[in-house]
């Protein structure tokens, strides 16, 4: 993830505050490395401070765009007004969407990433690119 991508996600969280901000992440997966190339901001239909829901049409369009551009939907981003750990509701949805879940804590301004693998939630290391290429 580049610095400008991190800033964009922080902006999405800030723009949606006090509600959870959310976005879909496009890119590629090469072995164990997920590269984010595009951020698709999404409206939180729940307008909630503790949950989020992305419009199914937005999800469908993101998958269509990824397919057209030879990319994948590699992650779901959302913000929490708490530590950046999956909530019980996140965990339920992670079972359906077993891609990377990137969470930004709006209280500590820190990112953490997770993925459900074999019924276990595992942390995913976030690598920062020094450039915005």
Active-site residues: which are they? 20
Beta strand segments in the chain, E: 22-30, 33-42, 72-80, 100-105, 110-117, 120-124
- 69 within 8 A of 94, measured Cβ to Cβ: no
Centroid of chain to Cα 65: 17
Any residues with CB less than 8 A from the CB of 86 and at least 6 apart, and which?
Answer: 94, 101, 103, 114, 121
């Amino acid at each position: 993830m580049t610095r400008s991508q991190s800033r964009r996600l922080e902006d999405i969280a800030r723009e949606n505050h006090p509600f959870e901000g959310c976005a879909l992440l496009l890119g590629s997966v090469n072995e164990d490395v997920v590269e984010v190339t595009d951020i698709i901001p999404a409206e939180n239909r729940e307008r909630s401070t503790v949950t989020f829901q992305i419009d199914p049409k937005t999800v469908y369009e993101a998958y269509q765009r990824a397919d057209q551009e030879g990319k994948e939907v590699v992650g779901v981003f959302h913000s929490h007004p708490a530590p950046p750990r999956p909530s019980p509701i996140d965990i339920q949805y992670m079972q359906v969407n077993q891609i990377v879940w990137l969470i930004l804590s709006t209280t500590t301004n820190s990112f953490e990433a997770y993925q459900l693998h074999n019924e276990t939630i595992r942390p995913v290391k976030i690598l920062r690119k020094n450039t915005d290429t």
